[in-house]
């Protein structure tokens, strides 16, 4: 008799962590005489990016983080963006800097990220922070993979000794989460959309993390019974009636009857990304001001 998977509620876990951060910030701000500060830089008028930025700013208010975001017109030059980052690097009120992606095509994303001071790089994408992660040293970690690890901890899932398969090799999710799971003593396999016989690889996974941006790529027959399935994908698809909906990289309706644990889309990993951004900002604040 089949048993439906435990649904990993990312929204509830995010709210719990944000509540803890709010209490922490209230206490620390009295010692430091200022709150933590986060600056989100957005260039252009991408509607999805604008929605993400609004969500981040609302979340900052909830936990008591001061927001120093700036919105630049689409025609902003590379020099202007780099100058804004340089000013924020020197601004003592700002503990975290994030460049909202994607940038307009004429701007160099890598140069912009590399210009952020590593200790203010709350997206965890600077080469120094990625190097720290590789070496197992303390540093600011990429928010989405760190959010996945926080979900596993919250649900009492210990990666130690488990077979973990990552589908997707991006610098944003796939590679960092592989390093984090390795550090947690999982045996890690990296796969991607071009891996031959992907199902043969994913069926061995006790923990399956999928982040490739392909709607419902992973079907129930590709999931090991009882596996922990973490769906990082978020895709907007249109059905035959012309109705739009969000879906992940996993076929949720079928996989939930095979998996032991599964994240929904939306409401799974998504809320954790913003929450870990806030947590990184608070950690940077604590380190920079010596508040440990």
- Annotated binding-site ranges: 168-170, 234
Indicate if 56 belongs to the active site. yes
Indicate if 123 belongs to the active site. yes
Q: Is 265 within 8 Å of 246 (Cβ atoms)?
A: yes
Question: 142-176 burial, b for 16+ CB within 10 Å, e for fewer?
Answer: bbbbbbbbbbbebeebebeebbbbbbbbbebbbbb
Q: What is the three-class DSSP state of 83?
A: helix
Q: Is 276 within 8 Å of 16 (Cβ atoms)?
A: no
Indicate if 100 belongs to the active site. yes
For 52, phi then psi, to 5°, come to -60, -45
- Residue ranges at the known binding site for NADP(+): 168-170, 234
- List the catalytic residue out of 123, 206, 231, 249: 123
Q: Is 6 within 8 Å of 227 (Cβ atoms)?
A: no
Q: Is 228 within 8 Å of 234 (Cβ atoms)?
A: no
Residue with tokens 């649900």: 155
Dist. CA 193–CA 290, nearest whole Å: 44
- List the catalytic residue out of 56, 120, 162, 175: 56
- H runs (alpha helix) in 46-108: 47-63, 78-90
| H-run or E-run covering 125 | none
Please list the active-site residues. Answer: 56, 100, 123
């Amino acid at each position: 008799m089949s048993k439906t998977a435990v649904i990993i509620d990312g929204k509830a876990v995010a709210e719990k962590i944000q509540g803890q951060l709010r209490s922490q910030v209230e206490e620390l701000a009295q010692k430091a005489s200022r709150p933590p500060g986060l600056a989100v830089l957005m260039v252009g008028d991408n509607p999805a990016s604008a929605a993400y930025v609004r969500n981040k700013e609302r979340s900052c208010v909830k936990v008591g983080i001061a927001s120093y975001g700036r919105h630049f017109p689409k025609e902003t030059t590379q020099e202007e963006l780099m100058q804004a980052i340089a000013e924020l690097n020197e601004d003592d009120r700002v503990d975290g800097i994030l460049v909202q992606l994607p940038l307009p095509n004429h701007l160099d994303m890598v140069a912009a990220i590399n210009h952020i001071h590593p200790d203010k790089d709350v997206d965890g994408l600077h080469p120094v922070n990625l190097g720290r992660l590789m070496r197992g040293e303390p540093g600011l970690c990429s928010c989405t993979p760190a959010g996945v690890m926080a979900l596993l901890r919250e649900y009492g899932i210990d990666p130690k000794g488990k077979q973990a398969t990552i589908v997707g090799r991006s610098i944003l999710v796939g590679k960092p989460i592989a390093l984090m799971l390795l550090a947690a003593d999982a045996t890690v396999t990296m796969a991607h959309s071009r891996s031959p016989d992907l199902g043969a690889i994913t069926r061995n996974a006790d923990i399956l993390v999928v982040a490739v941006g392909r709607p419902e790529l992973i079907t129930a027959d590709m999931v090991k019974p009882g596996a922990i399935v973490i769906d990082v994908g978020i895709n907007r698809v249109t059905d035959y009636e012309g109705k739009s909906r969000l879906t992940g990289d996993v076929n949720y309706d079928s996989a939930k009857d095979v998996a032991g644990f599964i994240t929904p889309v939306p409401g799974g990993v998504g809320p954790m990304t913003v929450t870990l951004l806030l947590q990184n900002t608070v950690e940077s604040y604590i380190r920079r001001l010596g508040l440990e």
